[in-house]
Amino acid sequence: GISIIASVLLSQNLAALPAGGKFIHGSGSISKNNGVMNITGNNKNHVIAWGGGFNINNGERVNFNGSDKAFLNLDYSNKASKILGTLNGGGNNIYLVNPSGVLIGKGVNVNANQFVASTASLDTALTQFVDAAKQNGDQNAINFSPVYNRNNLKGSIVNMGTIKANHIILVGQAVRNLASQNENDINGTRGTFDTGSLKIIGQSIFLDVDGVTNKNNIEVVATNPIDGQTNPDIKIQMTMNTFATKGHTDDWIAKKYSATGETFSDGSYYFYNIITIGSVEGWNNFANAWNNNGSNSGLGITRQIEEFKLISDLKFNGTDFVSVGKPNNSGFNKIFNGNGYTMSNITLNDGDASNNGGTIIAGVFNKVGGGTIKNLTIDGVTANISRNDILHLGGFAGQINGGNINNVTVNNINLNGTISNHGYVGGFAGVINGGNISNVALNNINKLYLYSDQYTGSNMNMGGFAGRITNGTINNAILNKIGTLQTAVVTQFGSNSNTAIGGFTTELGASNINNVFLYFTQDSKFMPAAALRDNKDSRLKVSTFYHSMTGNNTFNGTINVVYNTHITDPKGFGKVEDPGYNLDPATQRIYYTAKGMIDGTKQVADADRSKYNGKVNFKSYMNTANDQFFKNTVGNRQGLKVASNYNYSWVTSVKNSNVFGEYHHNTSSDYTTLINTYLPQIIDDILEANYGVTIEN
């Protein structure tokens, strides 16, 4: 059926005051006036059968009068109970059992001495409660908790409000305190528990512990699903600050497992931890904890956490960023969910680079070693990395060694690095050594710059997407508005260094590349270092897609290069008109330095047509930038969004999982009891306007 949340949105007016109430154990009175219902019990323990359902509409109020009493409310409506108004239990114990589910709405207040909500069997709850009450001379059944097993938990319990009680117990097929009334509200609404102790039992649980005031007494019990799944689905979420305050561990939460509710064992195996990051401080705490976890036992289980998740945009000030995955063998290999949020104004410096066996690696994610990174936008990344022997530098990652990266956008990229031996620089990654990458957009690759302070022997490789790609699978990649791709050497001597620039990559090996779109504007520049005059010109050092290819590569879908036909390269006409050339006095040879650039891409594209042998589609436009022309080339692609400034993105806002299922199938025994025993008497009482009739046992 439709979810509890959806049903509230569609029909909030259906959640009137509780209806058809009948005391079936103990006695008392039920009265209502102007949206307020007062329930008074004459005994210690009471059971009320609600034939019309136990609901409270927005603005309404239900009071359980007195104190030190217990009220078991059985909802026989075959629909979820919607508590959208105030439930005031006072000093009483309030129990609500509804196999179809229970919703505590946004902004709602529920208070009691003890509050229990359960989706277990109605008949079982009734029998258990009455038996417990009788055993103590009808004294308050303070320890009552509905019996459950894997077969009788049908509905969901969702708390989006505030439950205040000394003890809270929630028992359901699915239980959670983070939910959303709006599919685009990716944060959701977090319900709170103001309590001395919280116990949750379920097959699917999502608990945001930052909604619990007393975090020292939390117990979560997992039980087996009935839908064919092998294991329970238990997720515990907390902020990075809470995680750090608790010593980077989760052992302060009691984790148990029970299939029947009678025997219990350690349930840690079934628990999935999520750490949320909502501030610059939270990101840097995460990065430092991850980077240092291997050498510092005080950082607990940071690298064992299954998922890290952004819950707001992060705006750095240009100097306060810490990259993730720096030490050897510490590449990020869990799940990072950007949740549709943006990290902006990031600057990478020498402190963000790491030395891994002599190779300096730098990126927002220094190294990716597996796992999944998704739904993330990085807006503005600048790198300034000082001289190193070997450098892997990328706007997103310095090195990708496997894993899944999807729905990621990086805007406004400016990378600058210096080497003395070997360097790989890419707008997205320095080096890709495997992994599955899909739905990635790079907008405004302003400038990539790699400088060698050695005039001979250097190897410089630069790609708009990556310096080198091997054993990778890339599907749906857009390089929108490629600016300047430049390698340079010590200019006063000239050079015979080995340099290569590729619009997408320089070295491509044993990879699967599908659906790639590159947009060179009229301002795009290939600027390779030190092309010797004997090599004619710098066109031999640059390529629009890949520079060299090895191994068995496959190309499915389309590879598209969109470029401007404007010609400004003087060397294309065999003339030496560039004032930046150098004459070597010893050899009388002219060396073209970084100033000897190719301004425009037509010449490169013309040479590449035959080189790629039909693997690449070339499309040209005249003179000025044509964003609409490129947009038409990209076409309509599933999930792709194009902004008014022609920036591209597949990043999506993640909806909360649909575990709020509202079940409309209580056990037949529950409804046999309702129809044959309670319903006729409830109808008689309604007709007589008498809510004080007592039916014992």
Specify whether the CB–CB gap between 386 and 419 falls below 8 A: no
**Cα–Cα distance measured from residue 154 to residue 151, given in angstroms and rounded to the nearest whole number:** 8
pLDDT above 60 (res 64)? yes
CA gap 125, 123 in Å, rounded: 5
| pLDDT at residue 598 greater than cutoff 80 | no
Stretch 588-594: mean pLDDT, rounded?
43
CA distance 317 to 216: 36
pTM: 0.86
pLDDT at 245 over 60: yes
pLDDT at 240: 96
Query: In Å, how far are 367, 418, 579, 655 from 429, measured between CA atoms?
Result: 10, 16, 33, 29
Of 23-27, 141-145, 593-597, 604-608, the least confident: 593-597
Q: What is residue 695's predicted lDDT score, i.e. its pLDDT? A: 38
Q: What is the pLDDT of residue 454?
A: 84
Cβ within 8 Å of residue 574, ≥6 positions away: none
Asked whether the predicted pLDDT for residue 572 surpasses 80, the reply is no
Q: What is the mean pLDDT of residues 594-619?
A: 78
**What pLDDT does residue 178 have?**
81
How does residue 682 score in pLDDT terms, banded at 50, 70 and 90? very low
Average pLDDT over residues 47-61: 96
Could you tell me which residue, 522 or 544, shows the higher pLDDT?
Answer: 544
Q: Would you identify the CATH topology of the domain 4-272+658-687?
A: Pectate Lyase C-like (2.160.20)
Q: What percent of the chain has pLDDT over 90?
A: 65
Mean pLDDT of the chain: 84
Average pLDDT of the segment spanning 300-305: 92
Q: Averaged over 146-170, what is the pLDDT?
A: 86
Does the pLDDT value for residue 583 go beyond 70? no
Higher pLDDT, 537 or 281: 281
CA angle 299, 302, 305 (to 5 degrees): 155
Residue that wins the pLDDT comparison between 598 and 117: 117
The answer on pLDDT for 162 being more than 70 is: yes
Q: Count other C-beta atoms under 10 Å from residue 578's C-beta.
A: 17
Least confident of 128-142, 190-204, 526-540: 526-540
The domain segmentation of the chain, as residue ranges, is 4-272+658-687, 278-480+503-649
- Give the pLDDT confidence score for residue 4 in this predicted structure: 45
Q: How far apart, in whole angstroms, are the C-alpha atoms of residue 169 and residue 115?
A: 7
Rounded-to-integer distance, Cα 583 and Cα 533, Å? 10
Q: Mean pLDDT, to the nearest integer, of 505-523?
A: 96
pLDDT of 182 > 60? The answer is no
DSSP-derived secondary structure letter, 44: S
**Within 10 A of 599 (CB to CB), how many other CB atoms are there?**
16
Model confidence band, residue 170 (pLDDT cutoffs 50, 70, 90)? very high
What are the counts of helices (DSSP H) followed by strands (DSSP E) for the chain?
8, 50
Of the given ranges (13-27, 289-303, 322-336, 455-469), which has the lowest mean pLDDT? 289-303
Q: What average pLDDT does range 191-203 have in this prediction?
A: 96
**What is d(CA 504, CA 507) in angstroms, rounded to the nearest whole number?**
9
Q: Residue 581 pLDDT more than 80?
A: no
Strands (E), 126-191: 156-159, 162-176, 178-179, 189-190
Helices (H), 115-200: 122-134
* Virtual torsion, Cα 285, 290, 293, 296, nearest 10 deg: -30
Position 94: which residue type? I
**Stretch 649-675: mean pLDDT:** 53
pLDDT of residue 336: 98
CB 630 within 8 A of CB 647: no
Lowest mean pLDDT among 373-377, 400-404, 497-501, 534-538: 534-538
pLDDT in tens, 16-43: 899 999 999 999 999 999 999 999 999 9
For residue range 482-492, list pLDDT tens digits in order: 999 998 887 54
**pLDDT for the residue numbered 115:** 96
Quickly list DSSP for 216-267: TSEEEEE---SSS-SS-EEEEEEEHHHHHHTTS--TTEEEEE-SSSSS-EE-
Q: What angle do CA 127, 159, 283 make, to 5 degrees?
A: 140
pLDDT > 80? residue 169: yes
